[in-house]
Amino acid sequence: MSLNNLILLTGRTINQGVALEGGKTTKENVRAAAICTFDKEDFKKLDCLVGTPVKVITDYGEVMVYSTISEEGPHKGIIFIPLGPWANQVVNPDTQSCGTPTYKGMKAKVEVVKNGNVLDALDLIKTLKVA
């Protein structure tokens, strides 16, 4: 199952900040930052369980993360990935001369991955191609 025409937002979260206290390579960091949060109604359309790996695809890349739902948002048609190595795979790298990538407003598609493997931060970084 997949969802198209979503808008991806990224940002910092409290859980992410707490997890980073233990280090970037911990399982807690993966649980706090390697996630994609959905609107409750959008998530129902994916027909999967919370925690199921999903592939988030934008014009700038793709990444495998765990699925989750938040009662506070995001709103319908919007998905959220906390800032970090996982979000960095799918954001617009163009800094428009300000030194910061475009972290909000990318068009995205999400696919459920039944037997997917969400990488930890170090393994994810090892997959990157050096230009």
Predicted confidence (pLDDT) per residue in 36-84, tens digit? 999 999 999 999 999 999 999 999 999 999 999 987 878 999 999 999 8
pTM of the model: 0.88
| Element at 88 (helix H, strand E) | helix 85-88
**Confidence class of residue 16 from pLDDT cuts 50, 70 and 90?**
low
Return d(Cα 118, Cα 81) in angstroms, integer. 14
CATH number of 2-126: 2.40.40.20
Predicted confidence (pLDDT) per residue in 87-112, tens digit? 999 998 877 787 777 778 899 999 99
In this prediction, residue 18 carries a pLDDT of: 60
Highest mean pLDDT (candidates 26-35, 48-57, 69-78, 120-129): 48-57
Domain locations in the chain as residue ranges: 2-126
Return d(Cα 90, Cα 59) in angstroms, integer. 8
